[in-house]
Structure 1
Amino acid sequence: MDIEELTRKCLSAGTDEEACARHLREQILSMKPGVSADYALAMARAVVEEVKNSNRAVSDIITYTKADVTMGEFGVGSRGAGDFFAHRQFPKIIGGTDASVGVDEMDDAGAVEAGGKYIITTVDGMHSRLSDYPFLAGFHVTRATLRDVYVMGAKPVALLSDIHVGDDGDVAKIFDYTAGIAVVSEAMAVPLVTGSTLRIGGDMVLGSRMTGCVGAVGIADHLTARTATQPGDCILMTEGAGGGTIATAAIYSGFPEVVERTINLQFLRACEALLKSDVLTRIHTMTDVTNGGLRGDAYEMAETAGCRIVIEEEELRSLVDPDVLRMLDALEIDYLGVSLDALLVVTRPEDADAVIDIVRSTGVTMKKIGYVTEGPGDAKLVSGGEMTDFIPRFRESAYTPVKKVVDTTPHDLEAMKKRVAQAADAARDKKEKILRSLQRAE
């Protein structure tokens, strides 16, 4: 519960300060039943005072231009069309850089060149619904961030973590979360070297919600970025059992036994083997099936590389862990639109067997699932002999009961896109204004 936001809404509605404080007192008591009514009222009055003072702080640098579009209604973080559109705004704010792989390429990680090597950096946020399952949150986010390094053709060399827990959260959460990170860290011999621990919103957010991220740094001689995909290539995919998304679906949909299927290092072991082989230099692109499932990743790869990607469904279902697939089918979740944590490799047809053999040597199954042709930068799906558009939906497949309720496409999507783009433009303009001011001051 964000008591600062509650107070802002109360005051903006014209309610007098003391009435707001007394209303807030009841909210505080509902979340903190162990405190006295006097303490809760004193805290509420202090919050009202802070919010009242902050409302007087108005300037270009303090305030921001609103889009009047919420994260939820635009699907940001839900790995679909809305989310992809929002992420496409970042390059114009960040601007041009000397990065070897920058944010404009929408790749799994970024890369800069230094000392004749490529330094790869990436960060992944933990799954928001795993707040009450910190070990799973730590394990899956660490595996995810290492995947993003590996698929750039890089050897991971360090991990860093960040964790935020609400004011009422049990301290043990930060330890269990770290244990989940450490399992992957030790198993893959990539040290966890630094991190940060904070409360969400300090004193202003009540409850036990946890969120956090894990970042990774890697080093590469040869990059396997999405821009290297070219017509004539074939697309290979490994088996996958999912990660945080599948674990979440299992927990909240009554399939707890499926969670254990997600605890594996198959993807990372397969990548390690490829990195140590001479076939790595013959791989054009690697990525993981995460963002909006194969629908989202095929779309992003095609758009980034400027080629048509054709996915053939014939072999796809056989690459999904059987227990996971049974759950997805039972829950009517589209397996093509949900994160499977499988590895995608794009290479020349003549090199495909060599890649498959290396991956198979680690005990992981890999098959050919598609090909790349000349085209307008789109994706197609061949199923039952029929070719159709293969595009991400507004959100990824609804994989929990709550997501099935909110899984709707807004009627005014184009108008929302316009306002989101305008807000991004305003942020870019602010950046440039402040930069000019700082440069004049030097």
Structure 2
Amino acid sequence: MDVEEFARRELSRGADENSVIKRLIENIIEIKGCNREYASDFAKAVVQEVKNSSGHGGDFLTYYKSGVSMGSFGVGSRGTGDFFAHRQFPKIIGRSSADVGVDEMDDAGVVSANGQYIITTVDGMHSRLSEFPFLAGFHVTRATLRDAYVMGAKPVALISDIHVADDGDVAKLFDYTAGISVVSEMMNVPLVSGSTLRIGGDMVLGERMTGCVGAVGVAEHVTKRSATVPGDILLMTEGAGGGTIATAAIYSGFPGVVEKTINLSFLKACEALISSDIFGEVHSMTDVTNGGLRGDVYEMAETAGCRIVIEEENLRSLVEPDVLKMLDTLKIDYLGVSLDALLIVAPESAEQRIKDVIESAGVAVKRVGYATEGPSDSKILVNGELKDFTPKFRESAYTPVKKVADKTKCDFEEMKKKVEKSADEAVKKKERVLKVLRERY
């Protein structure tokens, strides 16, 4: 429970200060199991801090509110709302000297230094793995390394950040780090620095954990999405999923499937490919994560400015059998959920040599589609018929709670206008502050 948010919300609605304090006291006692005197002092201090920090103006103490919540817009849910929100960042960040910047919507950013490409990326742990710290650490580390590898990089360092709420067990820090370290040692990429904090300091009660892991890599050949061209073919490796599939398994009653996600197949396939002579002919790579194959090929087509056609024939055979059985049983669209497979885009002439390298690493790979001239969209070929293959508003609902949330109806177009307006206001604030600082310095 966020006691600051509770007090701020209730006071803004005009609730009586004493009634807010009384309700806070009961909540604090219930969650923390503390005595009433401590809870009373704490509640009064919370309300005092909220009052002291409210009602201010100016650029530094206010922000323009869109009126659209993260959940209702699907931010983080890897669908059309999430993609739209992410496409607002380039206008705020602006043009930079990056070789691959945020405007290309790639898995990682790229800058040049001393004749090499430096790749940086960061991934947040799966939010539903808070009670399973080792899994959270393992899967987020594998995810951030994937994002470095698919840009053509050899990862050289990892960094970690972990936040645990006030009542969380300190042991979560260590179990999470153990998960990171397993991948770190297996892939010989050192974990070199990090940060450890509480979520919201004293203000968030409970045991919730969140965090991220970042990676730095170096490359000579960058495999960005925009390098995809008509005539290319798409290859995909086998996938057993990561944090998303583990979460689906845990919260849907399939705990045995979790073990299937504990593998390094993707990373080993990338290492083999990057070290091979054929790698220079690879145009683009990505991991099948953001809204599943639906989301990733849609983003790739939009970035590359061509049509991508996916051929259904080989897809199901590339999903780990127990994972696929679970998804089918739960009626989860396997094409709209993260499978953690590697997607490779290259000229047709390189197909067999790429397959040979990937298979030499013990990883299955098959051709799953091609790029062609046409509008910047994605299609799927099913029994000879070309069908729409665009992402949905949210990724496939893969837990019982998500199935409920997926039923929420909203006016997406109206929300888009509000979200875009808030991004435009952030740009204006940025320019106002820059103007002041440039005049000063």
What TM-score results when the alignment is normalised by the length of structure 1?
A: 0.99
Aligned to 2:65: 66
Deviations 1:6-48 (A, max 9, x none): 1012211222222211111011011011x11011011000001
- Which amino acid letter does the alignment assign opposite residue 51 of structure 2? K
Distance across 1 between alignment mates of 2:251 and 2:368:
31
Aligned to 2:207: 208
Deviations 1:361-396 (A, max 9, x none): 011000000000011110000112211111000000
Determine helix, strand or coil for the equivalent of 1:302: helix
Q: Which runs of 5+ in 1 are unaligned?
A: none
Aligned to 1:166: 165
Q: Identify the range of structure 1 (401-410 vs 359-368) with the bigger mean alpha-carbon deviation.
A: 401-410
- Which amino acid letter does the alignment assign opposite residue 244 of structure 2? T
* Contact 1:394 1:409 (C-alpha < 8 Å) held by counterparts: no
Aligned to 2:16: 16
- Which amino acid letter does the alignment assign opposite residue 235 of structure 2? L
Distance across 2 between alignment mates of 1:409 and 1:166:
29
- Which amino acid letter does the alignment assign opposite residue 6 of structure 1? F
Determine helix, strand or coil for the equivalent of 2:64: coil
Aligned to 1:51: 50
Distance across 2 between alignment mates of 1:54 and 1:410:
35
Deviations 1:295-322 (A, max 9, x none): 0001000000001000000000000000
Determine helix, strand or coil for the equivalent of 1:27: helix
Determine helix, strand or coil for the equivalent of 2:398: coil
Question: Percent identity at matched positions?
Answer: 69
Aligned to 1:410: 409
Distance across 2 between alignment mates of 1:239 and 1:47:
51
Aligned to 1:141: 140
Determine helix, strand or coil for the equivalent of 2:140: helix
Note the C-alpha offset of 1:58.
2.2
1:320-359 to structure 2, matched below 5 A, reads 320-359=319-358
1:234-245 to structure 2, matched below 5 A, reads 234-245=233-244
* Contact 2:72 2:410 (C-alpha < 8 Å) held by counterparts: no
Distance across 2 between alignment mates of 1:201 and 1:159:
25
1:71-110 to structure 2, matched below 5 A, reads 71-110=70-109
Aligned to 1:199: 198
Aligned to 2:261: 262
* Contact 2:28 2:39 (C-alpha < 8 Å) held by counterparts: yes
Note the C-alpha offset of 1:291.
0.1
Q: Are 2:295 and 1:296 equivalent residues in the alignment? A: yes
Distance across 2 between alignment mates of 1:60 and 1:139:
40
What TM-score results when the alignment is normalised by the length of structure 2?
A: 0.99
- Which amino acid letter does the alignment assign opposite residue 215 of structure 1? G
Distance across 2 between alignment mates of 1:367 and 1:412:
40
Sort the Cα spacing of 1:409 and 1:24 in 2 relative to 1 into closer, same or farther, 3 A. Answer: closer
* Contact 1:74 1:82 (C-alpha < 8 Å) held by counterparts: yes
Q: Which runs of 5+ in 2 are unaligned?
A: none
Aligned to 1:400: 399
Q: Identify the range of structure 1 (148-157 vs 404-413) with the bigger mean alpha-carbon deviation.
A: 404-413
Determine helix, strand or coil for the equivalent of 2:283: strand
Note the C-alpha offset of 1:57.
2.6
Q: Are 2:11 and 1:29 equivalent residues in the alignment? A: no
Aligned to 1:176: 175
Note the C-alpha offset of 1:411.
3.2
CA RMSD of aligned residues (A): 0.7
Aligned to 1:368: 367
Determine helix, strand or coil for the equivalent of 1:311: strand
* Contact 1:238 1:344 (C-alpha < 8 Å) held by counterparts: yes
* Contact 1:168 1:208 (C-alpha < 8 Å) held by counterparts: yes
Aligned to 1:431: 430
Distance across 2 between alignment mates of 1:416 and 1:103:
23
Note the C-alpha offset of 1:408.
3.2
Determine helix, strand or coil for the equivalent of 1:279: helix
